[in-house]
Amino acid sequence: MTRTIAIVSGKGGVGKTTIVANLGLALASLGKSVILLDADLDMANLELALDMAGRPITMQEVLTGESTIADATYEVATNMKFIPAGVSIEQYRRVDPEKLAKVVAEVSTQADFVLIDCPAGIGRDTMACLSAAKENIIIAMPETMSAVDAFKTKMTGEKMGSETIGLAINQIRKIRGEESERDMQTMLEAPIIARIPYDNDLKISILEKKPLFTRKPNSPAMIEIAKIAAHLTGIEFKPPEKGPGLLQSILSKLPFGRKTEKPNSQATQSAKQTQQATKLAMQAKVIQGNKK
């Protein structure tokens, strides 16, 4: 049976999007069919983590009823497809998040796993994610505030009928002041399914526009993310010892981000907006760099 899993957090910026992208690839490499759905409708960036920015038809067109789910679905790699969220602010205002459950129900007939990248917090969009997904994984940093907010998210999940599979602690630095694993577990009342270290390779992955899974499958963070895939499938993930290895070669043979767009004027507009947002983000980065 298809597992529909919302990847959630209390605080923002803890690593949900990064984990969705790389966990999806790890599951796909284990032979599972996966659909990644970006439900962070106002701050979408899963497309950047997958180097798939600028797809013309997105969840926004699906949720306003202008396009079909098939039109908004793009192939990323063998066994893995992706539905972007889109960045149009005008369109977002017309989106009805309640319809998300219908979309999830429909795509769940096409894959073993549907992973939903959710917004931070417990606003209407997160609630829509949690009510659409039967299960959830909570991501938190090893900090008291992150854990407390994660607990609120877990409680919200319970109210919406979504069961927490476990907690993935991300960006562990092993420095003084970090919340201990045991305290995090006690606070959240959920099993810990991954302990992901702070890993600079993840930052480089974003710069190089290549998910960590394809760029460095042996990196400490990727090995921990892959443990979530093992937890979900019962299949042990064995990263290649040297060279690209089987898993990486499966993916590198593929056209990362194959184009299947069927443009219409609204969709082209949305693509332009995504490209513009990416350009602005790049400019901001340059400005920030110059200030240093």
Give the interface with ligand ATP as residue ranges (CB under 6 A): 9, 12-18, 40, 43, 120, 170-171, 196, 198-199, 202-203, 206, 221
Q: Rounded to the nearest whole angstrom, what is the least distance from the CB of residue 70 to ligand ATP in the complex?
A: 26
Helix (H, G, I), strand (E, B) or coil at 192: strand
Q: Rounded to the nearest whole angstrom, what is the least distance from the CB of residue 266 to ligand ATP in the complex?
A: 25
The partner in contact with residue 81, picked from Mg ion, ligand ATP, none with C-beta cut-offs of 5 to 8 angstroms by kind, is none
Name the E strands within the chain.
3-8, 34-38, 74-77, 80-83, 113-117, 135-140, 163-172, 192-197
What are the backbone angles phi and psi of residue 8, rounded to the nearest 5°?
-125, 165
The partner in contact with residue 38, picked from ligand ATP, Mg ion, none with C-beta cut-offs of 5 to 8 angstroms by kind, is none
71 or 125: whose CB is closer to ligand ATP?
Answer: 125
Kindly state the tokens that stand for 136.
């959830």
The partner in contact with residue 47, picked from Mg ion, ligand ATP, none with C-beta cut-offs of 5 to 8 angstroms by kind, is none
Q: How many residues bind Mg ion (CB under 5 A)?
A: 2
Q: Distance between CA atoms of 5 and 242, rounded to whole angstroms? A: 32
What are the backbone angles phi and psi of residue 132, rounded to the nearest 5°?
-80, -25
The partner in contact with residue 203, picked from Mg ion, ligand ATP, none with C-beta cut-offs of 5 to 8 angstroms by kind, is ligand ATP
Q: Rounded to the nearest whole angstrom, what is the least distance from the CB of residue 117 to Mg ion in the complex?
A: 6
Mark the segment that binds Mg ion (CB under 5 A) among 8-16, 165-173, 230-238, 268-276: 8-16
79 or 153: whose CB is closer to ligand ATP?
Answer: 153
45 or 273: whose CB is closer to Mg ion?
Answer: 45
End-to-end CA distance of the chain: give it in Å, rounded.
Answer: 51
Q: Rounded to the nearest whole angstrom, what is the least distance from the CB of residue 35 to Mg ion in the complex?
A: 17
Q: Distance between CA atoms of 47 and 186, rounded to whole angstroms? A: 35
Which residues between 14 and 33 bind Mg ion (CB under 5 A)?
A: 16-17
Residue number with the smallest Cβ distance to Mg ion = 17
Q: Rounded to the nearest whole angstrom, what is the least distance from the CB of residue 50 to ligand ATP in the complex?
A: 12
Contact residues for 187 (Cβ-Cβ < 8 A; gap 6+): 147, 148, 151, 179
The partner in contact with residue 164, picked from Mg ion, ligand ATP, none with C-beta cut-offs of 5 to 8 angstroms by kind, is none
Mark the segment that binds Mg ion (CB under 5 A) among 12-20, 88-96, 144-152, 224-232: 12-20
For the sheet with 192-197, list strands across it: 74-77, 80-83, 34-38, 113-117, 3-8, 135-140, 163-172, 192-197
Q: Element (H or E) spanning 144, and its range? A: helix 144-160
Q: Rounded to the nearest whole angstrom, what is the least distance from the CB of residue 119 to Mg ion in the complex?
A: 7
Q: Rounded to the nearest whole angstrom, what is the least distance from the CB of residue 203 to ligand ATP in the complex?
A: 5
Other CB atoms within a 10 A radius of the CB of residue 69 amount to 18
30 or 221: whose CB is closer to ligand ATP?
Answer: 221
- Report helix, strand and coil shares of the chain as percent, to nearest 5: 50, 15, 35
The residue ranges that bind Mg ion (CB under 5 A) are 16-17
